[in-house]
Structure 1
Amino acid sequence: MAISVVAREYGQPDAVLEVTEVTVGDPGPGQVVVDVRAVGTNPIDVKTVQGAVGKDESKLPLPVGFEVSGVVAAVGPEAATADGPISVGDEVVVYRADGGYTDTLLADQSAVHPKPGGLDHEHAAGLLLAGVAAADAVRTAHVGADDVVLIHGGSGAVGVIAIQLARKTGATVIATASPANHDHVAALGAIPVAYGDGLLDRVRAAAPAPVTAVVDTAGTDEAIDASLALLDNPGRIVSIAAFGRASDGVVVVNGSTPQSKEIRATAIPELLADAASGALVTEIAKTFPLTDAATALTELARDHPRGKFILIP
C-alpha cells in the first residue's frame, strides 16, 4: 500500500486534505512505478484543492501534485524515455505527475525524465513545473541579447528561473520584487525594482535603455498596465497568469497550444542539465513530511515564500 494525500472535497487545504492508503497496481505497457523521494509543491496545487481551477465532484477524492523525483521500483513492458529503456533503480523526475503527493507513484513513460546525477531529489522535484513555464514565456517573447526585459514577479519560483534564462541569452533584465528580495534578484543578474504605486516611473528610471520585452509571472493589472505603457508591441508582453488581458494583445501561455507544448518539452532536459551543473540556481525554502502536506499548502498560500516547499515521503 502507498501513502498518499488527497482532497476529500474542494476547500482550504487544512480542512480538506487527508492522508490515506492506496493500492498501486503493477505497471502496464509504457508505465513505471516510482519510489518517490521528494515532491514539489506549487500555487496551482492550492488552487486545485480549493476548486479555483474547476470543480468536478466525480474526481473526489482528488489526487494532488504534479512533480516528483524518485527511483524506479518497477518497469512495465517497453517503458522508455528518449534516452533509452527505463530500468529498475534509475533516478528519475516525473512531470507532469498525476497525484504526486504520494510515496509510490504509477507514471506513464511520457512523464518520466532521467534525473542527472549532480542534482539532488529535493531540487529536482521542485524544478520543472516552474521551469517549463519560465522557458515558455522567455522563448515566446523571443528574448535575445539586444533586449531589455522586464520580468514581473522576479523573486517567485517562475520569476527566478525566468531571470536566469533571459540572462543566459545575454539580455539586460529588470525584475520586480519586494524590497526584501532585491538583493536576491540582483544576485541573479537583474536590476531590481519595487512593485506597487509608481512602478512605471521606477522601471523607466532603472532601465538603461527602453524596455523591449516583458515576461509577466504576476498576472496583476498593475503589471500588465505598466507593460502596455512601456511597449508599443503588446505581442512581446508574455504572461503565464494574466488570462483576462489577452484582449489587450498580451500573449498568454499555459502549455495548451502546440507551440507552447513543444517549447516546454524541449526545455525539460535543458533545465535538468543546467540545474545539475549549477548554471541554473533554485532555492528550497522549507521541507515538510508528506503527511504534513496540508500545513505546507496553507503556509504556501499565506506566505508566498521565495523558494520552493518540498514534501518528503
Structure 2
Amino acid sequence: MEKDSKIYVAGHTGMVGSALLRKLEKEGFKNVIFRTSSQLDLTNQEAVKNFFKEEKPDYVFLAAAKVGGIMANNTYRADFLYENLMIQNNVIHQSYLNGVKKLLFFASSCIYPKMSPQPIKEDYLLTGKLEDTNEPYAIAKIAGLKMCENYNRQYGCDFISVMPTNLYGPNDNYDPETSHVLPALLRKFHEAKVEDKVSVEVWGSGEPKREFLHVDDLAAACLHLMNTYSGNVSVNIGTGEDLSIKELAEMIKDISGYSGAITWNRSKPDGTPRKLLDVSLIHNLGWRHKIGLEEGLAKVYEEEFLM
C-alpha cells in the first residue's frame, strides 16, 4: 500500500477496525475512509453499491461483522448467519466490481472443527464438525473466506483472509450479555472488587484452553500481510501460546486486585475444549506478536476501568 492510497476500513468503530485506524495513522496513511453503521448499512446491497461507486477505494479491510460470545452466538443464531453473510457478500462483490487492488477479510478461529488436532493448522478447515454454539457465525465466516478464494480464482482478484485467535484490547465489548470470555471476566472481577463481593461466578469448568492476542498486534500483522502476502491460504494470526480459562481467571483476579473466591458454574457450556492456532505460516512470513498476555491485560484493565 502507498501512503496516499485510498483505504476503506469497514467496521472502524469496533475493536479490530479502530486498532487498524490507529495503526494506519501511526504509519502515515492519510487517505483512510470509513462510515458509521448509521451512514452506511453494509447489509443493504444498493447502499454498498453506491458507496463503492462513489468512493472507489484502492484497498479494503473488511472488519465489519456481527460478533459476540457463547450466549449471543447461541441465542441469535439466525441474526449472526444472515447479517454476516450480507455484509461479506456486499463488500467483497463490490470490491471486485470496482477494481479494489487488495482486500483483507477477517474470518475467525471458530471456523475450525470443534475437535481439531492442536495446534490448529490452516489446512484443518472443513475437516470436521463445528462447535454447535457458534456454528452459524462460523459458517458465515467460512463463506466469506471462500468468496475471497474463489474471486481470486475466477476473476484474478487479490483478496486475502486471516483467522485471528481470541482478541482483547481497546474498544472491546464489555456487555455482560454479549461479550467474550476475557472482557466478561475483566468486568466481573472489577465490579466484584468495587462492590466487595464474596465471590465471582465464572461459567463452565475452567478447563478449556484458549489463546489470546492483543488487537494492536493483530493490526500490525494485517498491515504486514497487506504489504507482503497474496494467496488463497487464510493465514492464522495468534501467539502460539494458550492457557486454561481457570488460569486466565486467576490472572485477571490478580490484576484487578480482587480478593474474594472464584466459583465455577458447571451447568453452563464450556464451548470448544481447546483452540490453539498453529502460527508457523505467519512466522515464516516475517511477523510475530510483541505484547505478552499479562502485560496486555494489565494495560487494558488500567485504561478501561481505572482511568
Both proteins in one fold, TM over 0.5: no
The answer to which structure has the higher strand fraction is: 1
The answer to which structure has the higher helix fraction is: 2
TM-score between the two structures when normalised by the length of structure 1? 0.32
